[in-house]
Amino acid sequence: MKEYPEGEELKRAFVERLSRDGLEGPGVVWTGREREDLRRIEVPVLYVGQTGDWVCRTDLMAEPKGMGLVPDLEEKVIEAGHWCLYECPERVAR
């Protein structure tokens, strides 16, 4: 297990929130294919990818980039897992 989920207070708050609210995913996945005008992102985008993230993989940006859907994209890749804000907040902040 990674070192960052330490601390009883963080664990207590997490368990309390999940006990109260539950943990469910969305019932519908929005793909952006519903409306052509919503597919292209017209503002600057900073994508921070992590080498050890098996959920939001860095290779998943290739298709939107290739289609020209994120024309003002800056990509940064760091050595971290999915929860990089807990694991290495100082690297994310740079």
- Owner of token pair 């994120």: 70
Neighbours of 86 (CB within 10 A): 16
pLDDT (tens, 9 = 90+) of the chain, 94 residues, equals 566 566 778 778 878 888 888 776 555 555 555 566 667 888 999 999 999 998 888 898 898 899 888 999 999 999 998 888 888 888 888 8
Neighbours of 66 (CB within 10 A): 8
The answer to whether 34 and 28 are in contact (CB under 8 A) is: no
Picking from 80, 72, 27, 23, the residue whose alpha carbon sits closest to that of residue 53 is 80
What pLDDT is attached to residue 5? Answer: 62
What pLDDT is attached to residue 20? Answer: 84
Written as one letter, the residue type at 82 is H
pTM of the full structure: 0.61
Say which residues have a Cβ less than 8 Å from residue 3's Cβ, sequence separation at least 6: 87
- Owner of token pair 């859907």: 69
